Amino acid sequence: MGFTTAMENWSAFRDPELAKRIVAEIKARVTRPVKIMEVCGTHTVAISRTGIRQSLEGYVELKSGPGCPVCVTDDTDIDGMIHLARQPGVIITTFGDMMRVPGSSSSLLEEKAQGADIRVVYSPLDAVQVAEENPGRQVIFLGVGFETTAPTITLALEETRRRRLDNFFLYSSHKLVPPALVALLEDAELGLDGFLLPGHVSAVLGRQAYDFIAQEYGCPAVIAGFEPVDILYAVSLLVKMVEDERPEVVNAYPRVVKEEGNPLAQERIREFFRPVTVRWRGLGEIPISGLELAETYADLNAVTRFLAGGRGFGYGGTEPGAKLRGCACGEVLKGKIDPDQCPLFDRVCTPTHPVGPCMVSSEGSCAAHYRYDRH
């Protein structure tokens, strides 16, 4: 396929006339309002940016779920990270979007301003380099993400072994999407009719990883890409399944997502990590929904090495899950309220002065709503 042909095909995913036709088909098919939740921060931003939510208003209600990995990092984890940053001889390395996420009483950015050695890196391998350049310091990388980013961390762990470094450690706050979907499905208050499944995570997991949604819970789900026509087509498939009462899990992103996913990435996750029960901001404790380093790499686990009380011990002086200064981010992440229903939204909490993580991350539902939907 030549470049011009490829670009012409790609432009179809942004074709406004095609998008209008799909919207009209959705409206013609709907006999009652349909509630759909997306569980991907990139979908959240795309839906807000393109006006899809407003174009379907009154027919399809699109709710933003726990699809932003920064947002779902519990405040007890943030408190643990801050506690580590305060220790003498420690260098914290992290991606930039973690810097302003609030814990119970502080943030990494505030700690850096007070003298903590916290460095923003662009890759886990950059953190390994920091460890090699500072042999007398303990370097901790804050690993945050879903199944998509976990395999990239394994490269840093391998490099640590290859370079024979004894001062590089990982604080793993990686989370698994399917257990969170179970928690949402079992919350009767949500009343969801279907899921818009994440494209990036699904590239790793594959379509078949979600079969339980339809088979065990009778709920339809569609894996979608990120262009406007991608999303609208996925919504149209969901509406059809809801109306026909024939739930399935459909892959509407076959140019990226395969039935079996990425076996190599899956194998690396199994080799380097083990699933554990962890807390999600807003959703609470979800069984077997997080990733901790496997026994072979347990000596690189920053939680067991440096946090005497373990994860969620309350290093910020609060009980796990303590409410963050009136922030309703947890309710937003569960899809129980929209961002503008939080009493702090656009009053106390803005992107320049965020109170909660949903306003901090560029993929957060509050940040997306503030930028694109509030007017």
Confidence of residue 34 (pLDDT cuts 50, 70, 90): very high
Confidence of residue 288 (pLDDT cuts 50, 70, 90): very high
Domain segments of the chain: what residues? 75-174+262-306, 329-373
pLDDT(4) > 60: no
Spell out the residues 6+ positions from residue 185 whose beta carbon is closer than 8 angstroms to its own. 192, 213, 217, 219
Q: How far is CA 120 from the centre of its chain?
A: 19
Distance of alpha carbon 267 from alpha carbon 74, whole angstroms: 27
Indicate the DSSP class of residue 321: T
pLDDT(289) > 60: yes
The answer to whether 317 and 301 are in contact (CB under 8 A) is no
pLDDT(3) > 50: no
Predicted confidence at residue 99, as pLDDT, reads 94
Predicted confidence at residue 1, as pLDDT, reads 41
Name the average pLDDT for the chain: 92
Output b/e per residue, 200-221; b: 16+ Cβ within 10 A. bbbbbbbbebbebbbeebebbb
Predicted confidence at residue 38, as pLDDT, reads 96
Predicted confidence at residue 324, as pLDDT, reads 59
Phi and psi of 241, rounded to 5°?
A: -65, -35
Q: Which of 23, 20, 18, 11 is nearest to 235 (CA)?
A: 23
Which tens digit of pLDDT belongs to each residue from 36-92?
999 999 999 999 999 999 999 999 999 999 999 999 999 899 999 999 999 999 999
Give the DSSP H or E segment for 94. Answer: strand 90-94
pLDDT(268) > 90: yes
Amino acid identity for residue 275 in this structure? P
What is the three-class DSSP state of 93? strand
Token digits of residue 59? 């027919």
Q: Which CATH number among 2.60.40.10, 3.40.50.11740, 1.10.10.10, 3.30.1340.30 corresponds to the domain 75-174+262-306?
A: 3.40.50.11740
Distance of alpha carbon 316 from alpha carbon 86, whole angstroms: 12
Amino acid identity for residue 332 in this structure? V
Q: Which of 155, 143, 133, 135 is nearest to 93 (CA)?
A: 143
For residue 187, the tally of other CB atoms under 10 A from its CB is: 14
Predicted confidence at residue 317, as pLDDT, reads 57
Which tens digit of pLDDT belongs to each residue from 349-364?
998 888 889 999 889 9
Alpha helix stretches (DSSP H) within 245-333:
263-272, 302-306, 329-333
Bridge partner list, 197 = 223
Confidence of residue 13 (pLDDT cuts 50, 70, 90): confident
Which tens digit of pLDDT belongs to each residue from 197-248?
999 999 999 999 999 999 999 999 999 999 999 999 999 999 999 999 999 9
Predicted confidence at residue 325, as pLDDT, reads 66
pTM of the full structure: 0.91
Distance of alpha carbon 169 from alpha carbon 372, whole angstroms: 39
For residue 301, the tally of other CB atoms under 10 A from its CB is: 18
Of the chain, the end-to-end C-alpha distance in Å amounts to 42
Give the DSSP H or E segment for 153. Answer: helix 150-162
Which tens digit of pLDDT belongs to each residue from 118-154?
999 999 999 999 999 999 999 999 999 999 999 999 9
Q: Packing angle between helix 228-244 and helix 16-29, nearest 10 degrees?
A: 10
pLDDT(158) > 70: yes
Which range in 107-116, 309-318, 319-328 is most confidently predicted, on average pLDDT? 107-116
Percent of the chain with pLDDT over 90: 83
Distance of alpha carbon 154 from alpha carbon 370, whole angstroms: 36
Distance of alpha carbon 102 from alpha carbon 254, whole angstroms: 38
Predicted confidence at residue 5, as pLDDT, reads 44
Token digits of residue 247? 């739930």
Bridge partner list, 120 = 94
Q: How far is CA 5 from the centre of its chain?
A: 34
